[in-house]
Amino acid sequence: MSEAAAARLAGHVAKLAGEIGERHVRRPRALAAAARYIERELAALGYAVRRQTYDAGGVPSSNLEVEIPGAGAAGEIVLAGAHYDTVPGSPGADDNASGVAALIELARAFTDLRPARTLRLVAFVNEEPPFFYFGEMGSKVYARAARARGDDIRVMLSLEMLGCYSDRPGSQAYPPFLRWFYPDRGDFIGFVSNLRSRGALGALARAFRESSDFPMERLAAPALVPGVALSDQISFWKQGYPAVMVTDTAFYRYRHYHRATDTPEQLDYARMARVVAGLAGALARLAGAHGSLGGGDG
C-alpha cells in the first residue's frame, strides 16, 4: 500500500481517536458515533452493512458486518474483525482505532475480489472491560450466533493494535521465558494463537510471507500465557473456531496502552500500511480469491 493508504489509515484513526475520542457504554453517544462512522465508510465502498444489535448495560450496541460471498468452497468462511470500543479514559488510537482503520482499508482492497471462500469483515463492539471474558462482548455475541447458525468459519483474524513499531534495541518485551526466542526490537507484526489454532496460524503466516516482506513473528501458546487471549479471538476459541490475533504486541511494546496518551500522533502509519497490505494479500490467499486487490493511490 502507498502513501495514500497510510494517509487514509491516519484519517480513520484521527476520526475515531481524535474527533470522537473514548467510546464505550459510559459514553453511548461516542460509541454510536464510532459505529456510524464505520458504517458510512463501508457503505461508501459499496458494501451492504449488517448490524447485529443487542443490549449491553442498557445501551444498544452493534456489531457491524460486511460480506463478500464465496463462489464455492461449500460455505467456508474467512473472517477478520476488530473492536471499536475503548477503555474509559483513553481515546484508543492504537487500541483499537488502528485495527478498525485496517478493517476499513481491507474492505477497500477487496472491492473487486472474487473469493472461493466467503470473506467477512466485522467491527465488534464492547471488547474492553467490563465486558471482556465474562460479559457480553460483541465478539462473544457474534461467535455464539455464528455457531448456532452452523457457520463454517475456517479462520478468524482478530486485528488488535497494529500501529506501534520501533527499531530501538530493547523496545520489545515478552511474557516470561519468551524473550530468549524472539527479537528485542519491536519492528515486527505478531501472529498469536492458542494451541488448537496452530494450523490456522501456520497457514496465515505462510500467506502473509507470500504477500509481504514486512517482519513477522508467530506464537502458538496456551491461552493462559499473559497476553495470548486478550482480544476478540477468545470468543471464537470458546465456540470451537480457529482464530489468530494480529498485533503489535500491545503493552509488551506500546507504553501508551490504555492511557490518555494513546493518541493518533503516536502511531507509525507508513509501517501500518505495509502490514495492512500484507494482510490483504494473505486474506485473499486464504479465501482462494481471484481478481485484483484495490486500495492503491486512487
The predicted-structure confidence for 155-195, as pLDDT tens digits, reads as follows 999 999 999 999 999 999 999 888 899 999 999 999 999 99
Q: What is the pLDDT of residue 297?
A: 40
- Please report the pLDDT score of residue 176 as a whole number: 84
Q: Is residue 253 one of the residues assigned to a domain?
A: yes
The pTM of this model reads 0.95
294 part of a folded domain = no
Give me the DSSP letters along 111-136.
Answer: TT-B-SSEEEEEEEP--STTSTTTS-
Average the pLDDT over 35-49 and give the result: 98
Would 210 be classed as within a structural domain? yes
Q: Is residue 291 one of the residues assigned to a domain?
A: no
Among candidates 250, 274, 245, which has minimal Cα distance to 262?
250
Host domain of residue 254: 3-286
The answer to whether residue 151 sits within a structural domain is yes
Of 102, 62, 47, 66, the C-alpha closest to 247 is: 102
pLDDT for 133 equals 82
pLDDT at 292 over 90: no
**Which residues does residue 67 pair with via DSSP β-bridges, in sequence order?**
120
Q: Give the whole-angstrom CA distance, residue 74 versus residue 150.
A: 12
The three cell numbers locating residue 48:
451492504
Asked if residue 16 is part of any domain, the answer here is yes
Residue 98 is assigned to a structural domain of this protein: yes
Has residue 214 been placed in a domain?
yes
What would the pLDDT profile of 73-88 be if each residue is shown by its tens digit? Answer: 679 999 999 999 999 9
Q: What percent of the chain has pLDDT over 90?
A: 88
The partner residues of 149 in beta bridges, in order of sequence, read none
Domain count, the chain: 1
- Can you tell me whether residue 290 is helix, strand or coil? strand
What's 170's domain CATH number?
A: 3.40.630.10
User: Picking from 101-105, 165-169, 285-289, which range would have the lowest pLDDT averaged per residue?
Assistant: 285-289
State pLDDT tens for residues 225-272. Answer: 989 998 999 999 999 999 999 999 999 999 999 999 999 999 999 999
Quick check: 296 pLDDT over 50? no
Query: What's phi and psi for 282, nearest 5 deg?
Result: -65, -45
The per-residue pLDDT of the chain, averaged, comes to 94
